[in-house]
Chains A and B, each alone.
Chain A
């Protein structure tokens, strides 16, 4: 019964928060309207998202978000310095293949997004069977460190969160 009413409890919560953000005022009426939307939208869209991803440890998810946020700031400064002060001839770009251990689609999506947002790397495509991911690195002299960093810093944490 609860599963039919709330196919994605987290999505419902996010919808309420987004609605309150859109009207930019927290009043009982807005909370009620947001709650109605939060119940109705997941039920209406549940056929498009049939499986229910589980987040096994919410605390680790918060930790992951903070780590990524910090890395985004560091990444911004690094990329800005490379753009401003490195002559083009001395920027060594690399293609890097990262083998994946994650299996759930949600976890891989989050990983790909994280790679794009963090230090000098952009995720480009997967192998056709989704067992490895192709990453383009703006500047590195040591591709193996970048690969180890992605696997250790992000993939390990995501594995704990989603699996």
Chain B
């Protein structure tokens, strides 16, 4: 008879695995680079998050040694994921997208990727 903690940990592991796989699958399936940036930044965050929660539960409930180590990795990933996504999007814009393809900035100055900021 599986205990409640076993079921909980297995649930998080399976959810994490599915989301991680979907995130990477999105990289292959989606057609446009900008669309592909969405896949890893979202699906993978929950993937890694699920694994880390499962590991935290495992070491706390099964091994009996309280562990909050994993929160640091998830926090680190939550902070850095938007930054890397932003950098990759900017790289894509400068290399492959002409300024005319983007909508107007509706301001006096254009987008910062193409225009220098005012002094």
A–B contact (CB under 8 angstroms): yes
- A residues within 8 Å of B by Cβ? 18, 21-22, 24, 72-73, 75-76, 79-80, 83-84, 88, 91, 93, 95-97, 99, 112-113, 116-117, 120, 122-132, 134, 136, 138
Q: Which 3 residue pairs of A and B lie closest in terms of their CB atoms, listed nearest first?
A: A128-B109, A116-B82, A127-B105
Q: Which of A18, A83, A97 contacts B39 (CB 8 A)?
A: A83
Whether A132 and B107, one on each chain, are in contact in the complex, defined by CB atoms closer than 8 angstroms, is yes
Across-interface contacts of B105 in A (CB, < 8 A)? 97, 127, 131-132, 134
Q: How far is the CA of A131 from the CA of B43 in the complex (A)?
A: 30
Q: Would you give 17 A-B contacts (Cβ < 8 Å), ordered by A?
A: A72-B42, A80-B19, A80-B23, A83-B43, A88-B31, A91-B30, A91-B35, A96-B103, A112-B82, A113-B82, A116-B41, A117-B81, A117-B82, A123-B82, A128-B115, A130-B112, A130-B117
Which residue from A80, A88, A91, A122 sits with its C-beta under 8 Å from B22?
A80
Q: Is B68 in the interface zone, CB < 8 Å from A?
A: yes
Task: Give the chain B neighbours of A120 by CB distance below 8 A.
Answer: 38, 42
* B4 at interface, CB cutoff 8 A: no
A131–B107 CB distance below 8 A: yes
Cα distance A93–B106 when bound, in Å? 20
Q: Which of B25, B45, B110 contacts A76 (CB 8 A)?
A: B45
A14 vs B36: C-alpha distance in the bound complex, in angstroms? 33
**Interface size for chain B: under 10, 10 to 19, 20 to 34, or 35 or more residues?**
35 or more
For the complex, would chain A's binding face be called helix, strand, loop or mixed by DSSP majority? mixed
B8 within 8 A of A: no
B10 CB–A CB distance under 8 Å? no
Do A134 and B109 have beta carbons less than 8 Å apart?
Answer: no
Contact call B104/A97, Cβ cutoff below 8 A: yes
A112 and B86 contact, CB distance less than 8 A: yes
Q: Beyond A76-B19, A95-B103: 20 further Cβ-contacts under 8 Å?
A: A76-B45, A79-B26, A83-B25, A83-B29, A84-B22, A88-B30, A91-B30, A91-B35, A96-B103, A113-B79, A117-B42, A125-B86, A125-B89, A128-B110, A130-B117, A134-B102, A134-B105, A136-B34, A136-B37, A138-B38
